[in-house]
Amino acid sequence: MYGGGNYYADEVSGIVLDIGCHLTRAGYAGEDTPKVVIPSYIGMIENPDPNQMDVEGIAPFAGEKIMKYRDFMKLEQVFAEGGDKSEKLEEICREAIENELKLNPREHPFLLSEPSIHDRESRVALTEMMFEKFQIPAFYIVKSAVLSSFASGRSTSLVLDSGAYTTWAVPVHDGYVLQKSIVKFNIGGETITDVLLNHLVSLGVNIRPHYTFNKTVKCFVEGGEVQGNPEFTLEDIPRPNVDPSYQDFSIREIVRDIKETTFKVSDNTFSETSFANVPSSSYELPDGTQVQLGNERYRIPELLFSSGIEGVIGFSGVHQMVYDSITRCDMDIRRELYGNVVVTGGNSLFGGFTDRLHKKLTELTTQNMKVKLIAPQSTIERRFSSWIGGSILASLGSFQQMWMSKQEYDEHGAILIERKCP
Amino acid sequence: MVDANLNVDDACVNAFNRLKLTKDIRFVIFKVEGESQVIVERVGDLASTYQDFVSSLPHNEPRFVVYDYEFRKDDGITSNKIVFIHWSPDNSIVKNKMIYASTKENLKRRFSGIHREVQACSVSEVEESEIVQALR
């Protein structure tokens, strides 16, 4: 028996689920990293042709199945603006739990992370979905910034979480999120991917996704040794029925990789003159074409520390977000927050990001204010910090009494989550 | 508040009350044992110095501490204040960081009469001057 004051012996492992805007992470509590990391996208085919039935069944598709090319398959983000999210949310959970982790949700308690802005309606809906659609035995939900803060060893900190589509500055004090001081902007890693994509298009670079060609390699072998350079030949595959959303998704996968391998945040404010002579970096596209990147490697990520992002009103850098958030907090705790800035999220992984953030924050604050950033060196810890925190928590024997049990759900309804997980 | 719900040994509250009421000890160090309960690890006698306390903290594992800090006020009168310290060095393993951070409130709320709280994640953050500053 879970929760409700009844001690539950640690027989089965809890499952930790972190559904992000771009990636969904799922895995067993107690493990160091999530076993499953899949895109938070659902593939739909409207009116599928029954004569061309896929071996993998009919839409919706998720996980690995959306990576494969399919005529007319439309990709939708789980958290896309507008439309009904609940079906897509259920689909992505089902994919992660039943198809990827291959387990029966009725047998495992589930811990989910949620956005740091308290949203009663969403968490009640999520609770209902988990108990009704998946028949789980027990549930718990924790704000993502609290998990990141705790996993860094701090019950008080300012969590700067820069993800794919959103960047948050969230003050956590004694384990509670200070709701009124949260600063959030809809910018993130994909904003930078967008800018790079537009830049490449303006240069006339044709980015050809994997499904549009066949690549064959020919090389001459004589006496068991390869002679000369191998020859590549490309054969175009016409795809008249590709959905624009799938094309866009596939192109962005490539652009994102270009960004992750070549971009860096500069130590100082970017200017054309001081960055005129940076060595260019070359990147080989899947079709073999070489792309040369010069000072745009520094110019584009500079947007994260400036106010020049088109369409994002009021944003003037991630450092300003931290500053504004702390300024909205009580005077008494500001010193402690500046001394404990926890940096997390995949978009913070650019080389030079934390050094620049530290420099910009120090410039903004008064001279005697000590600014300290906490950013795990490992990419895994930085990308999955809230999942890791949840994994440890849900694996503790003593925590097994904290779950909201199915019995409690049946007796009190989903609204009880507000009391069980304040 | 997310709480790991560890058991807190009665000896913890007893040690705190001794520090606060009997006043015959200087500090108490608490540790988490077996990922399941908080116990008293060490008690520092009245004669121990702040330096004695700092040198008994492990450099790569978190601890909780209550310290009865004695200081001379501007008017020359000595005064005592109890400080709660959450020692969480950055080079601890993430599991321990998480367990201690999600246990701190559970322990602290059992102690009435804490004057200030200090979260220290490096040796420089647990220096005596930091405590003095926190007590100001």
Chain A residues with CB inside 8 Å of B101's CB?
149-151, 153-155, 175
A324 near B CB under 8 A: no
Q: Which two tokens stand for residue B10?
A: 């009665």
Coarse DSSP helix, strand, coil percentages of chain B, rounded to the nearest 5 percent: 30, 35, 35
pLDDT mean over A141-168: 97
Both A6 and A105 in one domain: the answer is: yes
Closest by Cα among B33, B87, B84 to B59: B87
A33 near B CB under 8 A: no
pLDDT mean over A137-150: 98
pLDDT of residue A55: 56
| A137 falls within a domain | yes
The reply to whether residue A402 touches residue B125, judged by beta carbons under 8 angstroms, is no
- B contact test, residue of A178, A374, A398, A420 with most B CBs within 10 A: A398
Instruction: Report the CATH number at residue B59.
Output: 3.40.20.10
Q: Domain count of chain B?
A: 1
Q: Domain count of chain A?
A: 2
| A217 falls within a domain | yes
Given a cut of 60, whether residue A273 has pLDDT beyond it is yes
Mind listing the pLDDT tens digit for each residue in A341-380?
Answer: 999 999 999 999 999 999 999 999 988 899 999 998 888 8
| A390 falls within a domain | yes
Q: Which residues of chain B have pLDDT under 70?
A: none
Chain A residues with CB inside 8 Å of B116's CB?
none
The nearest alpha carbon in chain B to A151 belongs to B98
Domain boundary among A281, A304, A327: A304
Could you write out the DSSP letters of every residue in A9-53? Answer: -S-S--EEEEE-SSEEEEEETTSSS-SEEEESEEEE-SS--GGG-
Give every CB contact of residue A70 below 8 A, 6+ residues apart in sequence.
A43, A45, A54, A61, A246
Overall pTM > 0.90: yes
The reply to whether residue B90 touches residue A153, judged by beta carbons under 8 angstroms, is yes
Asked if A96 contacts A378 with a C-beta cutoff of 8 angstroms, the reply is no
In which domain, by residue range, is A408 found? 2-40+78-146+383-420
| B37 falls within a domain | yes
| ipTM score assigned to the predicted complex | 0.96
pLDDT band at A48 (very low <50, low <70, confident <90, very high): low
In which domain, by residue range, is B97 found? 7-135
Mind listing the pLDDT tens digit for each residue in A80-103?
Answer: 877 778 999 999 999 999 999 999
pLDDT of residue A9: 45
Both A133 and A201 in one domain: the answer is: no
A156 near B CB under 8 A: yes
The nearest alpha carbon in chain B to A148 belongs to B98
Count Cα neighbours of B105 within 13 Å in the Cβ-side half-sphere: 15
User: Which stretches does DSSP call E strand in A210-280?
Assistant: 213-222, 225-236
| B2 falls within a domain | no
Given a cut of 90, whether residue A222 has pLDDT beyond it is no
Instruction: Report the CATH number at residue A127.
Output: 3.30.420.40
| A14 falls within a domain | yes
Both A207 and A104 in one domain: the answer is: no
Both A142 and A199 in one domain: the answer is: no
Both A128 and A212 in one domain: the answer is: no
Mind listing the pLDDT tens digit for each residue in A203-221?
Answer: 999 999 999 999 888 877 8
pLDDT of residue A211: 94
Q: Which of A107-116, A191-200, A377-386, B79-88 comes out lowest in average pLDDT?
A: A377-386
pLDDT of residue A7: 40
Coarse DSSP helix, strand, coil percentages of chain A, rounded to the nearest 5 percent: 40, 20, 40
pLDDT of residue A384: 94
Domain boundary among A304, A324, A343: A304
